Structure 1
Amino acid sequence: MVNKTSPAPKPTAAELDLLRVLWRLDAPADAKQVHEALLAERPEASYATVLRQLQVMHGKGLLLRDESQRPQRYIPAQAQDKLQTRLLKDLIAKAFAGSGKALVMAALKGHVSAKEREEIQKLLQQQQTPGARDGQA
């Protein structure tokens, strides 16, 4: 059982892979469905490993499990954007001394494609234009 007073657990890289699969499926899924969806990106993954990992993730509180049917179905305990925001805040605090600007500058120095850079510029321009958020621009 997850202690409600402790911070939510941080998923490992392998757990994030399974969470991404479940978010992409966008519906409760059993271990077989998760395994089949994961094979496209990790062909070496075995069904037994996926099943065990899902069980561990449920125990950690990363997944919810519907035990009323067989096979049991799993869903992420947190929405993708909520978990990503929490992990990003932690990264900013630990690796960038709490500075969001430092994170963005580091990302822009070599981790952003030209297309992504254009999308970022458009987003920044929209936020600077009065009424842009209301769809009035």
Structure 2
Amino acid sequence: MQELNFPSYSFRFKNSENKVSIFDEIRKKFIILTPEEWVRQHVVQFLMHEKNYPKSLINVEKVLHVNGLRKRYDIVLFNPNGTIFALVECKAPHITISQATFDQIAQYNMTLQSQFLMVTNGLKHYYCTMDFENEKYDFLKMLPDYSSTFLNNSK
């Protein structure tokens, strides 16, 4: 698989019926390794190891309903109180991040009401905070770390 713009992580792989699978720590099962899944698994590791989010606050690939349609989000980070902190949209490395990509995640977020968004193709990463009042997003350099966001606020 292609090298991505993330630190190097150790993954578990399995080969079955000429298909390679990667172990997803969140879903606790092997998933067919596609270019998008490669990005998604790097993001999960990045969130746990670089941003220090507990595994228990990360959710991967669940269905949500947007305007009566079934959609699937890639990754959601929860606040300790169960509300959604960040929504992550993963694309395969060969997919260019475009305005349509941001429109897609913004549409999902109208339902989810996440405070932060991350869009990545594994090579380029974009981070935003939502301004719901003005219906826009403001770009950030990085997502906040778990410790700076939650541990300091709980004191």
Q: Is TM-score (shorter-chain normalized) higher than 0.5?
A: no
Of Structure 1 and Structure 2, the greater strand share is in: 2
Please tell me whether Structure 1 or Structure 2 has the larger radius of gyration of its CA atoms. 1
Of Structure 1 and Structure 2, the greater helix share is in: 1
